[in-house]
Amino acid sequence: MEDCIFCKIIRKEIPTELVYEDEKVIAFNDINPEAPVHILIIPKEHIPTLNDIGPEQKNLMGHILWTIKEIARMKNLQESGYRILTNCGTGAGQVVFHLHFHLLGGKRFE
Ligand code: 5GP
Ligand code: ZN
C-alpha cells in the first residue's frame, strides 16, 4: 500500500526506533508512548485490521504473538507484567489501518 504509514516504515522510508525485525514482522517504538515501554508489532504484509485475517494468516498470527512474548522478554517485562492491545476499527480507536499490536509495559496497570 503506497500511502500506508506503517508500510512506509517497513520500507524504511520513515525513520523509526526499530526494536525487532524478521522476514514476517517488524516492531518499533510508538512515536507517542502511553507507557515507559510502548512498542508496536506489525506484520510486513499489509493487512488493514484484525477483521481481514483469513485462514491463511493463522500461522502469521501465532508468529506475531510469539514475537510479542520474545520482545517482552528482551525488555525484561515478563516479571513485571505487560499488556497487549489491538484496536479493530474506527469505533475502537484504530487510527492506522495496518494491523498492529501495542505492547505496553514498565508501569502498573489498573
Ligand atoms: P491505533 O490507534 O491505530 O491503534 O494506534 C496507532 C499508533 O501508531 C498510535 O499509538 C500512534 O502513536 C502510532 N503512530 C502513528 N504514526 C506513527 C509513526 O509515524 N511512527 C511511529 N513510531 N508510531 C506512529
Ligand atoms: Zn500498510
CATH of the domain at 49: 3.30.428.10
49 CB near ligand 1 (under 6 Å):
no
Sheet strand arrangement including 82-85: 18-21, 25-29, 37-43, 101-105, 82-85
Is residue 43 a part of any domain in this protein? yes
Q: For the chain, how many structural domains are there in total?
A: 1
pLDDT at 83 over 70: yes
Atom of ligand 1 nearest to the CA of 86: 4
List the domain range (segments joined by +) for residue 19. 5-81
For the whole prediction, is pTM greater than 0.95?
Answer: yes
Is residue 62 a part of any domain in this protein? yes
**Half-sphere exposure (Cβ direction) of 109: Cα atoms closer than 13 Å:** 15
Helix (H, G, I), strand (E, B) or coil at 91: helix
Out of 38, 63, 100, 102, the active site residue is 100
> How large is the average pLDDT for residues 41-49?
98
pLDDT at 110: 86
pLDDT at 2: 75
pLDDT at 102 over 80: yes
100 is catalytic: yes
pLDDT at 36: 98
Is residue 86 a part of any domain in this protein? no
